[in-house]
Structure 1
């Protein structure tokens, strides 16, 4: 199912895109979609970027070479990056550099555990595993460029794609299995190590824990990037055929979107609600599922209702101030200046006072109505979230 050029189809919708300084080589997103990290590189800039959910740039850091890979912890506290300058970088949420490590060659891929305790990196010929302090725990020679690495949240399993093979290691750096596919450009593993997804020359592969092939899908070019949800239900891929692909667990294509350049990197949230992609067209794309869009729309409606309530409350305050001023003017005119209360000016002021007094309960009724709408929408959001948790289909 294809998107139109406005980023819409019957499923996901593009929320925003940001023009980077040069080609975007890598992207990663936090589970709640609150933070997006990206890495770029080329003639015009070699940067690590951090964005919030609205696409606002929080910070960027310039490295000594193209940033081929980035990864972020679920809470957004740590960002790891791998660069053409042979270094692995670790940053905190504020963009402060915590440490960097010089490897034996260009760093093509990095991954970090949710607690930030382990960082895995792939460079020319080697897979590296570091602890939080940047100390090297082990490295494994594959004999080819390691274009992609991924690590489970507990650090128990490390998967790597190098040369023509996919490798699976345990925490101690022991090789559990390897599979010949053809040139491997991207790998990803589920938190429990049950599923491994890989992207190679023209194909996307899904394996189980034992290294058995479950399915493969042929694209029109090299698959630069893959990502999988924790339960293995969704697989997203980015290819040099300029497309972003989304599959279900059985390998069925759910949708694809054509960008204006090679898709270098993709990432998906654990619930499959958001997909982020980085393209050679110098853009970062964020897509949302119908469920996410409905919830987002309701949240925006709630925000709009709250803004209207604030506006009405301000009007009530202004009305009270005006009523006080008008009554004061009437007192001065009638009691001090001895004006006749039947004079046109006094009557007009009296009518204006009555108008502002009557308007207050009218505004209070509108506020009450908006508060009711907010409660109703919040209830609908909670119901949708609960249905999603128990796996019940939404009929809307």
Structure 2
């Protein structure tokens, strides 16, 4: 449980005008609490995801307006345990680009996912780097698409989820598989209903070789968004889906999903609880049935 809560705290939200992150030191228990480390310049910089690296440091993914090629640039930043910058690389072009996720890869490098804008059109964006952040390859996918989360697959390729308007102008949850060089192998689209604005926020590999995606479905005609969890097979075909937070006029969202050690799934997000939105953990069995819901709000 604590591991899940820790991951929820350190992923997806690291926003404070500047790219900011408080690095927790292992030695903190032996002395005063560590001070926050601030990264960026005078413009609007932001971090979205962080992972611990194999050498005990940290890799951060986000975007910066303080440096780069113009607009906002996707950024990978490596820092040590004290928050000292080891290296920083920006990616993209003259328009707005950003990373939403970063993961370590089997070769010691990194895979980052987000979006890149060219000539006013935004695309899902993957960048593969070596251990020092040097680009091995970068690719864009779709049109009016973006990626929110990525995972390396056992075959050395990658699977990512996000949002796509390729099939529906309102937007579908998109699950896309690419090979080790970033070449697309397949793409799947999931739509909650007509006029639904849908997006995938997290993807995990499942023990049966498939995938589980967590995000939301936006039924604007009913004034609501629903937490939406989709289970697929290895080819991305839907096996089942579960919706939570179906009361009209409420806004609910799944932000992360993990496979638990017992083979069940744990979903983190927020649900409306009366007039407020509260953080929740939800445990689902392998068929998508709810085992329990834990509410952490007031």
CA contact (8 A) 1:90 1:98 kept: yes
**Aligned equivalents of 1:270, 1:36: Cα separation in 2:** 13
1:340-355 matched pairs, under 5 angstroms: none
- Unmatched 5+ stretches in structure 2: 66-71, 165-169, 220-224, 293-298
Please state if 1:102 is matched with 2:40. yes
TM-score, structure 2 normalization: 0.62
Please state if 1:207 is matched with 2:207. no
Structure 1 residues 37, 90: closer, same or farther in 2, change over 3 A?
Answer: same
CA contact (8 A) 2:227 2:254 kept: no
1:78-89 matched pairs, under 5 angstroms: 81-89=13-21
> Secondary structure of 1:92's match?
coil
Greater Cα offset, 108-117 or 153-162: 108-117
Larger Rg: 1
Structure 1 residues 243, 264: closer, same or farther in 2, change over 3 A?
Answer: closer
Tell me the CA shift for residue 144 of structure 1.
4.3
TM-score, structure 1 normalization: 0.49
Aligned twin of 2:68: none
> By percentage of residues, which structure has more strand?
2
Structure 1 residues 258, 105: closer, same or farther in 2, change over 3 A?
Answer: same
Structure 1 residues 197, 291: closer, same or farther in 2, change over 3 A?
Answer: closer
Structure 1 residues 290, 106: closer, same or farther in 2, change over 3 A?
Answer: same
Tell me the CA shift for residue 207 of structure 1.
1.4
**Aligned equivalents of 1:292, 1:90: Cα separation in 2:** 38
Tell me the CA shift for residue 195 of structure 1.
1.1
> Secondary structure of 2:149's match?
strand
Aligned twin of 2:295: none
Aligned twin of 2:126: 168
Aligned partner (choices 265, 270, 283) of residue 273 of structure 1: 265
Aligned twin of 2:141: 179
**Aligned equivalents of 2:88, 2:231: Cα separation in 1:** 36
CA contact (8 A) 2:254 2:267 kept: no
**Aligned equivalents of 1:227, 1:183: Cα separation in 2:** 15
Aligned twin of 2:230: 247
Aligned partner (choices 175, 184, 189) of residue 216 of structure 1: 189
Structure 1 residues 142, 274: closer, same or farther in 2, change over 3 A?
Answer: farther
**Aligned equivalents of 2:49, 2:197: Cα separation in 1:** 20
Structure 1 residues 168, 216: closer, same or farther in 2, change over 3 A?
Answer: same
Tell me the CA shift for residue 91 of structure 1.
2.7
CA contact (8 A) 1:233 1:248 kept: yes
**Aligned equivalents of 1:135, 1:223: Cα separation in 2:** 37
1:62-211 matched pairs, under 5 angstroms: 70-71=10-11, 81-92=13-24, 96-102=34-40, 104-107=43-46, 109-113=48-52, 115=54, 116-123=57-64, 125-133=72-80, 134-146=85-97, 148-154=99-105, 155-163=109-117, 164-171=122-129, 172-184=134-146, 186-192=147-153, 193-200=157-164, 202-209=171-178, 210-211=183-184
Tell me the CA shift for residue 37 of structure 1.
3.5
Instruction: Name the Cα RMSD after superposition.
Output: 3.5
**Aligned equivalents of 2:199, 2:87: Cα separation in 1:** 27
Considering Cα pairs closer than 8 Å and 6+ residues apart, tell me whether 1 or 2 has the greater RCO.
Answer: 1
> Secondary structure of 1:35's match?
helix
- Unmatched 5+ stretches in structure 1: 1-28, 39-69, 72-79, 298-396
Structure 1 residues 277, 199: closer, same or farther in 2, change over 3 A?
Answer: same
Tell me the CA shift for residue 194 of structure 1.
2.4
The count of corresponding residues between Structure 1 and Structure 2 is: 227
Tell me the CA shift for residue 279 of structure 1.
5.4
Structure 1 residues 120, 215: closer, same or farther in 2, change over 3 A?
Answer: same
**Aligned equivalents of 1:287, 1:101: Cα separation in 2:** 34
Aligned twin of 1:389: none
Aligned twin of 2:296: none
Please state if 1:35 is matched with 2:12. no
Tell me the CA shift for residue 101 of structure 1.
0.5
> By percentage of residues, which structure has more helix?
1
Deviations 1:12-34 (A, max 9, x none): xxxxxxxxxxxxxxxxx87x535
